[in-house]
């Protein structure tokens, strides 16, 4: 690991490479995930899906299921009057299919029984009859004039407020159209010395969180309240959706935080929770539901597949003249998060480059496929794949080095983004070129590039290649819809310890550890004196959840502000106790003391005691983060909170006979602002790179006629230990002016350019380009064959 050269102040706790505070619970098996929980009297929920789709449902017979011993309740559309719908974009998803099943994930019935096996048998006893309907299963099919409409009532389908300005109502299954316009691409096109263009495709990818979606839900009739323990990474989003569906106010639905076994953007929408809640209401007993791995693939969301038509023009010296892109997103039948993905991806099409002319048209298309949605990277890896591929093609046409062309165009302070955001160093670090230089240096770019493409392998049938790609990530996705906000409380306890009350959801990123380091730093306390309070949606302030790379930046900022507020309060009390000027009182090493007079010191416990018993007020710090973002307007003008950058270099070896691609090395030079805990940051970077490798080479949820063909771990390949290449991480720490102690999000940008870098390395190795992901051995062999056949 290389250290940044940027001068940083020394901190006692901040920046310390310490293990996770909660690690022991996981290695001993004591950590209790939602799917590990059981409560007395608990029933088990199983869902019956429509096995045909699209189809008209002509009959649902649950009588045999209801009569099975051990079955406590069976619910169908008939049991839910009014049938509320949910969705984060279009509000289109009903709990139960009544007359029409649009996808094979549409739920026909929900069963609660005394155990899983009984519930499963009951589900199999439900008799459903269908009439087939014509379907539209691909972007091309769904866009046709005569395509069957996924929602015949498209014109009246409800949409969340922020999306209304980009909704189209008269183009069949094409339901949103988001435009970015900067300059005039048509006028600029003739000025380009070289224009490169292609159609790129990215696949449906499964989050494959190791923990499936699951929850235990209890409805208490006496108080008309719902309590749930869910695998969600966005507890407030979950209770909001759940409250809507149950037609309850949100303060009657409580999510108790439990560790989530992975999220990656896949644990934001309600899944099995509402069914458990309704069944609990019906039976008066708590109900647990856990998705099978198979359900993970079709019933939960996956990464939105993109078709990308992109053209890019450059001047002779490599300066980018224009980028013109059409993005088509297959949202499945219930466009929920995909709409926001389309907006976000569009804004990132230009890359962290000065491009005077940008035109992007992004359209979401309903299909009869299972619902897609958000995934770590939120559209950035998809558009980076297309853009970075074309930048390499432009460089090749102009005989420029790939590093050189990126440096030539990388943002400098003062750059203006395609949404009109001026990048000023007092608001955000503008350090993309530093990442490009650092990646080139750490990878030994020049020497390795010269070596690449020499035959290797025992029989000379392998070729090596090296590729580079750069991407940026705009922090705080909610900025698309509004301003991001977070609030935290930091509470001093009578024994001198401190409890942090924050809404940060720990989905594996180790945020609680990092937050405790921030508080320890702000208060001058040992980290062990800080505890993270047990969280529930009742006990902590409203929060957007673990998403959009925002938790460290936004919640971290609130926590830091809360800790500093507490510090000020403690100093105030101590000053009164010591009869000193607050200006002269300091807080360090667990004590409050008068500077320069070591004898005049108080333990924090004494100060808290005095504050409470003497002055009548417990010292509690309140901290807020107010996002500085400007919500995107109808013309796509707006601002994101800050930006992260990563440049990655991939080295690959391609087997010319089998098409196998082996990644030998991945270098990630990433602008992280400030590493609150380098061990954790490194872990995020490494994990993101390997997930990016899966996106590049291995993973695809195969759908045919609306059915998922490979919903099992043995037919869907995520990276294994032996797939992981040598991983080199370079943390660049040019402090973010707003983030806590200069920190910002690291968890998405680390995988944004990975697939693009690998694709460029493969192209370097074989002299031809695969334009659809994943780059499977079969596609490599086909590309080689097509290259040979002129």
CA 187 – CA 602 distance, rounded (Å) = 71
Nearer to another protein among residue 544 and residue 716 (C-beta): 716
Mask 727-746, x = binds another protein (CB under 8 A)?
Answer: x-------------------
For residue 367 the two structure tokens come to: 């299909």
The answer to whether 482 contacts another protein (rule: CB under 8 A) is no
Nearer to another protein, 478 or 694 (CB): 694
Site membership for another protein, residue 679 (CB under 8 A)? yes
When the beta carbons of 133 and 727 are compared against another protein, the nearer one is: 727
The beta strands (E) that lie in 578-700 are given as 585-588, 591-594, 597-603, 620-626, 643-655, 661-671
395's CB contacts (< 8 A; 6+ apart) are 318, 401, 402, 404, 405
Closest distance between another protein and the C-beta of residue 1, in Å?
A: 11
Q: How far is residue 52 from each of residues 76, 149, 297, 670, measured CA to CA in Å? A: 17, 17, 17, 46
Q: Quick check: 782 binds another protein (CB under 8 A)?
A: yes
Binds another protein by CB under 8 A, chosen from 245, 504, 552, 691: 691
Residue placing its CB nearer to another protein in the complex, 160 or 781:
781
Binding of another protein by 687 (CB under 8 A): yes
In the complex, the smallest distance separating the C-beta of residue 421 from another protein, rounded to whole angstroms, is 32
Q: Judged by CB under 8 A, does residue 412 bind another protein? A: no
Residue from 212, 332, 410, 476 touching another protein (CB under 8 A): that is: 212
Q: In the block, which residue shows the tokens 């004591």?
A: 30
Handedness of CA 5, 8, 12, 13 (dihedral sign): negative
Which of 463, 481, 465, 432 has the alpha carbon at shortest distance from 752? 432
* Rounded Cα distance, 218 and 287, in Å: 6
Q: Is 358 in the site for another protein (CB under 8 A)?
A: no
> Quick one: which segment of 270-278, 470-478, 485-493, 711-719 binds another protein (CB under 8 A)?
711-719
Instruction: Give the shortest CB-556-to-another protein separation in angstroms.
Output: 18
Helix (H, G, I), strand (E, B) or coil at 586: strand
Segment interacting with another protein (CB under 8 A) among 289-297, 518-526, 565-573, 620-628? 289-297
Query: How far, in Å, CA of 55 to CA of 132, rounded?
Result: 4
Binding mask 83-122 for another protein (x = CB under 8 A): ---------------------------------xx--xx-
Nearer to another protein by C-beta: 365 or 439? 439
Question: Which 646-665 residues touch another protein, going by CB under 8 A?
Answer: 657-660
Of residues 290 through 319, those in contact with another protein by CB under 8 A are 290, 292-293
Contact predicate 555/562, CB 8 Å = no
Residue 478 lies near another protein (rule: CB under 8 A): no
Q: Contact, 587 vs 521, CB < 8 A?
A: no
- 459 or 581: CB nearest another protein: 459
> DSSP string spanning 68-113?
STTEEEEEEGGGSTT--EE-SSB--EESS-SSEE-STT-EEEEEEE
Interface residue with another protein, options 510, 627, 638, 739 (CB under 8 A): 510
Of 172 and 688, which has the nearer Cβ to another protein?
688
* 169 vs 293, beta carbon nearer another protein: 293
Name residues contacting another protein, limited to 598-637 (CB under 8 A): none
Q: Which of 131/722 has CB closer to another protein? A: 722
In terms of CB distance, is 34 or 339 closer to another protein? 34
Please report, to the nearest 10 degrees, the dihedral formed by the alpha carbons of residues 166, 169, 173, 179 taken in order.
Answer: -20
Q: What residues form DSSP beta bridges with 253?
A: 226
Of 7, 30, 153, 247, the one binding another protein (CB under 8 A) is 30
Q: Which of 558, 548, 575 is nearest to 643 (CA)?
A: 548
777 contacts another protein (rule: CB under 8 A): yes
Choose among 19, 15, 119: nearest CA to 70. Answer: 119
Reading the block at residue 262, the tokens are 């992975």
Give residues 457-476 in contact with another protein (rule: CB under 8 A).
459
Question: Is residue 216 a contact partner of residue 229, using CB atoms and an 8 Å limit?
Answer: yes
Taking CB under 8 A as the criterion, the residue among 208, 544, 695, 741 binding another protein is: 208
Among 194, 398, 564, 702, binds another protein (CB under 8 A): 702
Which of 269, 260, 244, 243 lies closest to 337, judged by CA?
A: 269
- How many residues of this chain bind another protein (CB under 8 A)? 77
- Which of 724, 737, 768, 772 binds another protein (CB under 8 A)? It is 724
Residue 712 contacts another protein per CB under 8 A? yes
Q: How far is the CB of 186 from another protein (least distance, A)?
A: 40
CB of 718 to another protein, least distance (A): 6
Q: Is residue 16 a contact residue for another protein (CB under 8 A)?
A: no
The Cα–Cα gap between 761 and 758 comes to 5
Minimum distance from residue 760 beta carbon to another protein (Å) = 20
From the number of C-beta atoms within 10 Å of its C-beta (0-12, 13-18, 19+), residue 532 rates as buried
Residues numbered 235-264 forming contacts with another protein, rule: CB under 8 A: 259-264
Q: Name residue, tokens 């750069």.
A: 470
| β-sheet with 585-588: strand ranges across | 585-588, 591-594, 597-603
Name the one residue in this structure whose structure tokens are 């300059």: 183
Our finding on whether 32 is near another protein (CB under 8 A) is: yes
Pairing of strands 306-314, 320-332: antiparallel
Q: Which CA distances in Å does 10 have to 173, 560, 676?
A: 57, 17, 12
- The binding track of 552-581 with respect to another protein, each residue x by CB under 8 A or -, is ------------------------------
CB of 21 to another protein, least distance (A): 10
């Amino acid at each position: 690991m290389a250290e940044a050269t940027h001068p940083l102040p020394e901190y006692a706790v901040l920046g310390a490479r310490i293990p996770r505070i909660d690690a022991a619970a996981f290695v001993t098996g004591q950590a209790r995930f939602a799917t590990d929980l059981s409560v007395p009297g608990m029933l088990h929920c199983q869902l019956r899906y429509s096995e045909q789709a699209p189809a008209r449902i002509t009959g649902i017979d649950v009588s045999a299921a209801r009569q099975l011993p051990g079955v406590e309740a069976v619910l169908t559309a008939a049991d839910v009057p009014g049938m509320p719908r949910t969705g984060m974009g279009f509000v289109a998803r009903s709990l139960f299919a009544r007359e029409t099943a649009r996808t094979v994930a549409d739920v026909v019935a929900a069963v609660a029984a005394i155990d899983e096996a009984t519930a499963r048998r009951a589900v199999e006893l439900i008799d459903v009859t269908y009439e087939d309907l014509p379907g539209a299963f691909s972007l091309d099919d769904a866009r046709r004039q005569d395509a069957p409409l996924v929602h015949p009532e498209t014109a009246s389908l409800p949409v969340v407020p922020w999306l209304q300005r980009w909704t189209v109502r008269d183009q069949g299954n094409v339901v949103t159209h988001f435009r970015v316009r900067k300059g005039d691409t048509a006028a600029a096109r003739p000025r380009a010395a070289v224009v490169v263009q292609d159609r790129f495709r990215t696949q449906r990818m499964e989050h494959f969180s190791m923990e499936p979606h699951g929850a235990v839900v209890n409805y208490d009739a006496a108080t008309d309240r719902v309590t749930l323990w869910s695998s969600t990474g966005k507890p407030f989003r979950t209770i909001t959706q759940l409250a809507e569906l149950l037609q309850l106010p949100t303060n009657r639905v409580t999510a108790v935080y439990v560790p989530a076994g992975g999220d990656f953007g896949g644990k934001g929408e309600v899944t099995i929770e509402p069914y458990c809640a309704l069944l609990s209401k019906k039976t008066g007993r708590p109900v647990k539901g856990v998705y099978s791995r198979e359900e993970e693939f079709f019933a939960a969301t996956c990464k939105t597949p993109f078709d990308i038509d992109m053209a890019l023009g450059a001047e002779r010296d490599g300066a980018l003249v224009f980028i013109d892109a059409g993005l088509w997103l297959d949202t499945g039948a219930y466009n929920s998060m995909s709409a926001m993905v389309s907006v976000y991806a569009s804004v990132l099409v230009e890359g962290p480059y000065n491009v005077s002319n940008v035109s992007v048209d992004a359209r979401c298309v309903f299909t009869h496929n299972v619902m897609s949605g958000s995934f770590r990277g939120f559209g950035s890896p998809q558009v980076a794949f297309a853009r970075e591929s074309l930048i390499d093609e432009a460089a090749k046409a102009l005989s420029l080095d790939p590093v050189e062309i990126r440096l030539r165009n990388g943002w400098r302070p003062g750059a203006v983004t395609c949404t009109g955001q001026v990048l000023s160093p007092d608001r955000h670090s503008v350090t993309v070129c530093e990442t490009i230089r650092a990646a080139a240096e750490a990878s030994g770019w020049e020497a390795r590039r010269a070596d690449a493409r020499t035959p290797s392998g025992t029989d000379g049938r392998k070729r090596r290649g090296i590729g580079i790609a750069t991407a940026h990530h705009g922090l705080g996705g909610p900025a698309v819809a509004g301003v991001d906000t977070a609030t935290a409380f930091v509470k001093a306890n009578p024994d001198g310890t401190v409890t942090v009350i924050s809404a940060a959801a720990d989905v594996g990123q180790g945020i609680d550890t990092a937050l405790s380091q921030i508080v320890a730093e702000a208060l001058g306390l040992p980290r062990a004196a800080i505890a993270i309070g047990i969280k529930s949606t009742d006990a902590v302030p409203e929060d957007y959840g673990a998403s959009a790379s925002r938790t460290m930046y936004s919640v971290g900022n609130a926590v830091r502000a809360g800790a500093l507020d507490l510090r000020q309060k403690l100093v105030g009390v101590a000053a009164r106790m010591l009869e000193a000027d607050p200006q002269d009182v300091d807080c360090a090493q667990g004590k409050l003391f008068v500077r320069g007079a070591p004898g005049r010191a108080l333990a924090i416990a004494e100060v808290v005691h005095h504050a409470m018993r003497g002055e009548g007020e417990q010292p509690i710090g309140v901290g807020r983060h107010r996002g500085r973002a400007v919500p995107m307007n109808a013309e796509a003008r707006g601002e994101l909170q800050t930006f992260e950058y990563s440049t990655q270099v991939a080295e690959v070896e391609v087997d010319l006979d089998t098409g196998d691609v082996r990644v030998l090395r991945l270098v990630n030079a990433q602008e992280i602002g400030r590493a609150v805990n380098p061990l954790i940051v490194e872990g995020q970077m490494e994990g993101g790179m390997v997930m990016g490798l899966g996106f590049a080479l291995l993973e695809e949820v195969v759908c045919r006629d609306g059915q998922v063909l490979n919903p099992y771990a043995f037919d869907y390949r995520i990276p294994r230990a032996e797939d992981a290449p040598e991983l080199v991480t370079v943390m660049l720490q040019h402090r973010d002016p707003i983030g806590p102690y200069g920190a910002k999000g690291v968890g998405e940008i680390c995988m944004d350019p990975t697939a693009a870098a690998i694709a460029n390395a493969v192209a370097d190795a074989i002299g031809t380009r695969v334009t659809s992901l994943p780059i499977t051995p079969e596609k490599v062999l086909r590309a080689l064959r097509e290259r040979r056949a002129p």
